[in-house]
Amino acid sequence: MAAQLGPNVVLMGDPRVAAVEVRESGESLIDLREYEKIVISPRKSQENPSLGLIRAAVGHKLAAASAGLPDGIRLCVVEAYRPPRLQQFYFDGYRNRLAADAPDRPDDELDMLASRFVSPPLVAPHPSGAAVDLTLVDTDGVELDMGTPVDATPEASDGACYTDAANLTSMARANRRILSVALTAVGLINYPTEWWHWSYGDRYWAMSVQAAHAHYGPVDDPGATR
């Protein structure tokens, strides 16, 4: 059984997230490969060739965060933009695994539990180009100890994927702190069930910072905004 979340954590499946208005800015997507100091991991490139794309403002913020890191440490992006169809595929797959493990669990509970790890497609930040999954690497490209791999599930990691998990080494906690300080300083917010997931301008961001509306909605054709 994975560790429990704190009572104040709002999950992506919460109706308050879906209730946030989106006023699409029309801002273009840029390629994070344009930034020399940001590393792009190839691990998901076959299933998602567009993973390096992100809204321009978010990309600029990531570049600023990268510049603020300690010497010898760089940001490594695992996935930014994700097509809506792929978001649906990931959500359905994880939800189906949860349902297979607990066939008597109500549908609404399954939806909420699934949203700890994969955002419901209606509100998902990745398809809007507003979110990035990332970690830290050294100058040789070796990933630092963050406590779990990127994309570790709550079940497999016993909740260590949660940003403020208690079951971490001092090194992993310190490295998460470095990542958090750099990204928070430029205005990104973290999804508390995934230490690696950060965003700006999406519905979850707007709810978290009490913005009047979200800036970015889903992008079906990333080429149309470039």
What are 165-176's pLDDT values in tens digits?
999 999 999 999
CA 156 → CA 12, 120, 153, 196, distances in Å?
20, 20, 5, 16
Comparing 91 with 69, which gets the higher pLDDT? 69
Across 205-215, average pLDDT:
98
Q: CA-to-CA distance for 144 and 154, rounded, in angstroms?
A: 20
- Residues of the chain with pLDDT > 70: what percent? 96
The full set of domains in the chain, from first to last, is 15-225 (3.30.1380.10)
> pLDDT value at position 108?
86
Burial 88-123 (b: 16+ CB within 10 A, else e): bebbeebbeebeeeeeeeeeeebbebbbbbbbbbbb
Look up the pTM and report it.
Answer: 0.92
**DSSP 8-class letter at 141:** S
pLDDT band at 3 (very low <50, low <70, confident <90, very high): low
From residue 18, alpha-carbon distances to 57, 123, 143, 159, 201 in Å are 23, 6, 34, 25, 14
Question: Lowest mean pLDDT: which of 53-57, 75-79, 111-115, 206-210?
Answer: 111-115
What mean pLDDT do residues 20-47 have? 96
- Which residues are 197's β-sheet partners? 133
